[in-house]
């Protein structure tokens, strides 16, 4: 009597494996999309802080805030000093949108719109309107200013 040795997987084993992989990916995928949004928001918060620091350094030298958020901005400083002296490049939002900037009455604000609601940074930001830039937690606006 000759017995045939079977090598490989049966159809049922393959289907069970595919079903398990499908269930696992359905559970994991939604959490990964939230991670991307949180990562972009973390980048926005960091970049807004960098811009605000550059503007404060500019203010310490020139005793005025730049009128616009451009590297060539010069507001009452010697011509050799521009915002680029302290901030060589202006960061851009991860989605390519420019950050908001407003200045008025000896104050300034830099704003970014976050993707996630109830981001932890919204509790420690500026919630006011400066130079036409409105900063409110309801609109997911993260703002830093001086």
Where in the chain are the domains?
11-145
Q: Supply the mean pLDDT for the chain.
A: 87
List pLDDT tens digits, range 92-136: 999 998 999 999 888 999 999 999 888 888 888 888 888 888 888
CB 71 within 8 A of CB 89: yes
Residue 45, pLDDT above cutoff 70: yes
122 alpha-carbon distance from chain centroid: 12
Residue 3, pLDDT above cutoff 80: no
Spell out the CATH class of 11-145.
alpha beta
In terms of pLDDT, which residue wins out, 62 or 6? 62
Q: What percent of the chain has pLDDT over 70?
A: 97
In the numeric block, which tokens belong to residue 141? 């606006």
């Amino acid at each position: 009597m000759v017995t045939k040795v079977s090598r490989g997987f049966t159809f049922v084993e393959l289907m069970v494996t595919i079903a398990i992989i499908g269930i696992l990916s359905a559970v994991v995928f939604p959490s990964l999309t939230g991670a991307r949004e949180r990562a972009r928001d973390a980048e926005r918060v960091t970049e807004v802080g960098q811009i605000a620091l550059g503007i404060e350094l500019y203010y310490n030298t020139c005793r005025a805030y730049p009128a616009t958020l451009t590297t060539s901005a010069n507001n009452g400083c010697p011509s050799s000093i521009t915002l680029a002296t302290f901030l060589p490049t202006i960061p851009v939002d991860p989605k390519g949108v420019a950050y908001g900037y407003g200045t008025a009455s000896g104050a300034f604000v830099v704003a970014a719109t976050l993707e996630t609601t109830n981001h932890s940074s919204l509790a420690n930001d500026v919630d006011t309107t400066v130079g036409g830039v409105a900063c409110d937690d309801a609109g997911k606006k993260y703002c830093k200013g001086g």
